Chains A and B, each alone.
Chain A
Amino acid sequence: MPRPEQKTIQLTIDGREVGAVEGAMLVDAAKQGDVEIPYFCYEPKLGNPVGACRMCLVEIEGIPKLQTSCSTPVKDGMVVHTQTDRVRHAQNAVVEFLLINHPLDCPVCDKGGECPLQDITFGWGLGRSRMIEPKRHFEKPLALSPLVAIDRERCILCYRCVRFSQEVAEDYQLIFAERGAETYVATHDGHPYVAPFSGNIIELCPVGALTSQPYRFRARPWDIEGAGGICTLCPAQCNVTFTVRDDRVLRVLARDNAGVDDGWLCDKGRIANQSIHVDERITKPMVRDGGELREVSWERALETAAGLARHQGRTGALAGGQATNEEGFLLQRLLREGLDSADIDSRVGRGVEASTLRALSAPALQASVPDLEFAHTVLLVGVEPLDDAPILDLRIRKGVRRNGVKLAIASARPSALDANAAHIQRFAPGGEAGFLSDLIGALDGSATSTGQGLSTLATLLRDGGEDVVIIWSERMGNEAAGQLGRLAELLGLPGRDGAGLLEIPCGANGRGLREAGVRPDSGAGLAPLPGATNGRDALGIAQAAADGELTALYLLQTDPVRDQPDRALWERALHSVALVVAHASVLTEGLREHATVIFPAESHAEKEGTVVHPDGRVQRQRIAIAHPDEVRSGWAVLAELAARAGVDIDARRSADVFTELAAAVPFYAGLTLEEIGGRGVRWPEREAAGAAAAAADADAAPRTPNSHRSEPVLPNQGQLRLGTYRPIWAAPECEISPALKFLIPEQQLELAPQDAEWLGIGHGDEVTVTQNGTRIHARAFLRSAVPAGSAFLAEGIGGEESANTLTEPLIEVRKV
């Protein structure tokens, strides 16, 4: 869909000639002329203006009544007055009206000092009240949810929070109850407002009516500083501002970046900063001594870890999603150059092969996040944005709601976006490859028979407009991913602006780590390794370690027992090896049992380095707070160990590592930290991206026709197909953040009501899920959108009940 063209027009505001984009709202255009028009309810992120607060009234020549400048698009030649007596009278009136029922408890209000109502009262109010009647009273404060406190007396009913719930998050929970002066914000059923994006209403509130429960009374605005950063708790990599007081992150706010997050945050990103300052966090190096992990000096820990040198050629390494490009780059140098091993990976399970990735990383195929808003069609394949990259869920909703983007969802598990979809295609868990091959067949006419649903989808993709964005997940595996190139070609996506592919990797910085060379089958820049020197992938590492072929493991911010498939194998692997070196901030089960050395890892507010967004945007993490206690920089520890292992590294700052990385990755060529700046740079848009295009072409050539195709295993009588997913809240950071504990998922088995019926299972019943003698417990969750025959379990939730305990595609379910 072509983005709207922008034409500049001239208008006059308070006698000044101002140039503005035609159709922009007057209140925004006025800023171009340094004229500030006050407002409360206007927030373009929330959609069309509502004109409720009446604060932004201005006089426009030729229109008899005062007009709300938030809802008046500018026209050429418009003459506007914002300083006349009439306007001032109206502004004074609105401020007076707003304050007559406002408690004016600013001295004890969290918002005091950063409150638009205070500022506007000072700027546009008369500073007096003529009302002597008693004010409106409500019980206060109340918990709107465990995360948000509501003070209805302070509320000025600006509609922002309700519009967010209704029109942005579309959870439809917040409403106005009652009417007139008795109106108040509430949830429609009186239950707490629990939703993945609920925290945004705190930031939207222009008064102190909605305050953050974890932040309440923790600081005043004059105590705090803001520090820009990147949230690396998931691949969405939202831009954030950390609110810092005395070297503690007390709050996380959105840092609007239309290229990334559109100014929203999920509650994990907003609240999990608590995990930075809790006792559970590891802040001192530890070494296993006499079977127990004990806090030791850095020298001792480094000395023990340097023992890796005795495992030359027998060390495997895994990097978790929170590792930076620099850390990943150093890790692969340590492994490859210092420990003579190629067994290094940053993926979950098998993932996608390097040759496939090189082809799919072609700059001509890369869609950007804003493309989701303006595409004709967005196709999701095997992705649940809400769990995999939450903020994209809001972006897709926005496109559908405001621009009429057609959404097609192809997945095994029902999606939170189903209600917004123009087309839904369900397949059995693991059926992505089959689905894509069928879709290609339907599109190129090679299929002999095509199901009704698939031909509808093919028509939608082919005839619904040229700009198609396909979001896919790394989890779908190599066979499925290998077909995306052909699909993109059939739809004419290569080289088309506003169209292309957008991959959601498993790790938050999955793309950056891959590009830094943290893979067994490619080096920095996804370059093929010289000779046939490919190492083992994550699963191979586990097997080799369990078999005794590997004798040491390096775990950079990951606990494979929790993060990787096949928990039992990893337990064996960790148990078998002689040395386990880990960087971690939370003592998860695998590390607690098996780590030999643990280096305290930095939080995302402490790191310095770069990460790469799924759409190729290189972003910069900056130090917001000093390292607590004895935490040291991850890159420095890696550099030290590499140096001890004899690797020639000259890195005195993280920036030095970045310089090395930029030199090693052809498509980063010339990239500097200054260029990345605060908003990031999409490398596919840079000139050096040509290097990636050349590599993609080299790989795209020998494409084999899609002859092989694995059929999903058919369930026997009494069995269900198992699909897994990683819930948004399944993260150690959530587990140790006190305010988020109520959201920690317990294992539940999502299944179709018809399956539940023949199994004799009711909603909420306790069930056992069995496979090859392995059994886990779960609570049944009946979901009518689950296709019959399939069932879903959560992974990454910690403990034996996690889905990665099971390894086979079929399960048997019994009621307890």
Chain B
Amino acid sequence: MKTILFDNIDEPGLNTLEVYERRGGYQALRKALSMSREDVLSEIMDSGIRGRGGAGFEMGRKVSFLPHGDMEKYLVCNADESEPGTFKDRELMQKSPHMLIEGIVIAAYAGEIARAFIYIRGEYQLQADILEAAIAEAQRAGYIGQDILASGMNLPLVLHRGAGAYICGEETGLLDSLEGKRGNPRLKPPFPAIEGLYHGPTLINNVETLSTVPAILNMGAAEYAKIGTESSTGTKLVSISGDVKRPGNYEIELGIPSREIIYGLAGGPPSGKEVKFWFPGGSSSPVLTKDDLDVPYDFDSLAKAGTMLGSGAIIVADESRRVLDTALKLAKFYAHESCGKCVPCREGTNWTHKMLQRIYTGEATPMDLDIMASVQEQIIGNCLCVLGDAMAMPIGSMVAKFRDELEGEIEAARERADGAPLEDVVALGVADEQAGPMPVH
């Protein structure tokens, strides 16, 4: 299979400048600096590369949105990799930090940007240390800082560590956090490309996206665009976890059948059991089932299947898993990570979490599944950022696709709880009176 990012990934010492340069590192930057900014930008545009962080927006277009003129413009690399199931950026930064730095400098050159930041999640201590060392090396070698490679281009690069909030991976929440404020998403528009960090035009891209830029320059946009499908060009790092024999990061060509990843690369469920459901793009993507295994793994095919490619994190659950467990974990995670700024997300995630808990304690009725589905509908599309949707979409998909199983769970839990036959309660329609106080955890 075609690899780009992972070509030399396991070479010892690739994180050092010496090895990276030996493997052709920073040649793309030299090439870029010998080209005009416009040409570099059109290379990025022509490559068709779409953002690898989750939204899948074309990087070239994002760069082209930046206004021209004499103003302070920023580049921010989003290294706050917090989507459950996603761990591709970690490997990239840990093993090939210079590839990211090189990509940042090229992108900054294309966007006439004079200041760059990497916002890395606080838990990535090791990766932050490695990046710091790499930045220092690159600085000494003249790849970043003042007058880069005697081209007259300046680009200070600052690494900033987050403090452990999922919402700071949302681009505007990240910007607020980087500015030293509470990490809350901002209203869009204005989009960061127009008004971002410190009110300046800001290009925000994911680690993987920026790390791909040197390869695009090296091989040429036309060559890169041949990889993958027409609307999903290139390769993608996929973090696969859950019930598979060989979990880990794999670089795949976009458009291959999902089955090839789950069964081919990762070996399928270890027990030999069947796949029950799987998240194709991190925990915020609506779940698919075993019937969807042949969906091609690219942006558009997954969207057509009612889900999304997201961050490229596949989480597999086999038949031994209960949907309820996963749903509760998810809801708890998102309720905990909701910033609280907008109402549907703050209240909706919290309510959903409480309803799922109630199923466990035997205090729910099948009617609650209707409420739960309706609450998810009330969240989707009504929030300030996508965090609310990130819970509502997978939970909604689980309620829709596994309703029978959830109803069974409700009945079983009720019987466990008090032995009262469910039918009686439903027939009376007095779910309200039946609900006792909830244990506060």
Contacts and interface: CB of A to CB of B under 8 A. Distances in A.
Contacts of B182: 175-176
Interface in A411-458: none
Contacts of B339: 179-180, 183
B431 interface: yes
Given A71-B187, A180-B337, A52 B342 contact: yes
Interface stretch (B116-124, B350-358, B393-401): B350-358
A134 interface: yes
A407 interface: no
A259 interface: no
B437 interface: yes
Interface in A156-191: 156-157, 159, 175-176, 178-183
Nearest to B435: A132
19 contacts: A50-B341, A52-B341, A54-B384, A93-B379, A94-B343, A97-B348, A98-B343, A100-B351, A133-B438, A156-B343, A157-B340, A159-B341, A175-B182, A179-B337, A180-B338, A180-B340, A181-B335, A181-B338, A183-B340
A48 B378 CA distance: 26
Nearest to B165: A179
Interface string B163-176: 00100000000000
Interface centre among A51, A53, A181, by most chain B C-beta atoms within 10 angstroms, is A181
A90 B382 contact: yes
Interface string A608-637: 000000000000000000000000000000
A130 B371 contact: yes
B349 interface: yes
Interface in A636-688: none
A93 B344 CA distance: 8
Contact of A68 (B165, B187, B350): B187
Contact of B346 (A96, A175, A183): A183
B347 interface: yes
Contacts of B435: 132-133
A176 B340 contact: yes
A101 interface: yes
A180 B382 contact: no
Nearest to B348: A97
Given A176-B182, A181-B338, A98 B382 contact: no
Nearest to A65: B381
Interface in A72-106: 89-90, 93-94, 96-98, 100-101
Given A101-B347, A134-B438, A96 B378 contact: yes
Contact of A57 (B187, B382, B431): B382
Interface in B408-434: 431-432
A192 interface: no
B53 to A, nearest CB: 20
B344 A94 contact: yes
A66 interface: yes
Contacts of A89: 378
Contacts of B347: 97-98, 100-101, 181
B115 interface: no
Contacts of B343: 52-55, 94, 97-98, 156-157
Contacts of A51: 187, 342, 384
Contacts, number: 101
Contacts of A71: 187
A334 to B, nearest CB: 59
B383 interface: yes
Interface in A30-67: 48-55, 57, 65-66
- What range describes how many residues of B lie at the interface? 35 or more
Nearest to B378: A93
B30 interface: no
A289 B381 CA distance: 79
A119 B338 CA distance: 28
Nearest to A94: B343
Contacts of A53: 342-343
A219 interface: no
B336 interface: yes
Nearest to A72: B189
B431 A54 contact: no
B378 A179 contact: no
B346 A181 contact: yes
Given A179-B339, A182-B340, A49 B187 contact: yes
Contacts of B341: 50, 52, 157, 159
A179 B163 CA distance: 13
Given A97-B347, A131-B351, A132-B432, A180 B358 contact: no
A222 to B, nearest CB: 29
Interface string B358-379: 1000000000000100000011
Nearest to A73: B189
A164 to B, nearest CB: 16
Nearest to B367: A130
Interface in A529-584: none
Given A52-B343, A134-B438, 16 more contacts: A48-B187, A55-B343, A57-B382, A89-B378, A97-B348, A131-B354, A132-B435, A133-B438, A178-B340, A179-B338, A179-B340, A180-B335, A181-B338, A181-B347, A182-B340, A183-B339
Nearest to A55: B343
A132 B338 contact: no
Contacts of A179: 165, 336-340
A433 B432 CA distance: 77
A67 to B, nearest CB: 10
Nearest to A49: B187
A212 B202 CA distance: 43
Contacts of B165: 179
Interface in A2-22: none
B95 to A, nearest CB: 33
A97 B354 CA distance: 14
Nearest to B189: A71
B383 to A, nearest CB: 7
Contacts of B432: 132
Interface string B251-280: 000000000000000000000000000000
A134 B431 CA distance: 14
A337 to B, nearest CB: 62
A612 B216 CA distance: 71
B187 A54 contact: no
A97 B339 CA distance: 16
Contacts of A48: 187
Which 9 A-B pairs rank lowest in CB-CB distance, beginning with the nearest?
A93-B378, A183-B340, A181-B350, A97-B347, A180-B338, A51-B187, A133-B354, A132-B435, A180-B340
Interface in B315-335: 335
A133 B335 CA distance: 15
A722 to B, nearest CB: 40
A298 to B, nearest CB: 60
Contacts of B384: 51-52, 54
A183 B343 CA distance: 12
B382 A54 contact: yes
A181 B187 contact: no
B381 to A, nearest CB: 5
Contacts of B355: 133
Contacts of A180: 335-340, 346, 349-350
B437 A97 contact: no
A132 B368 CA distance: 10
A68 B383 CA distance: 10
Nearest to A51: B187
A66 B354 CA distance: 27
Contacts of A133: 351, 354-355, 358, 435, 438
A133 B165 CA distance: 27
Interface in A359-416: none
A133 B350 CA distance: 10
B438 to A, nearest CB: 6
Contacts of A132: 431-432, 435
A94 to B, nearest CB: 5
A132 B342 CA distance: 22
Contacts of B358: 133
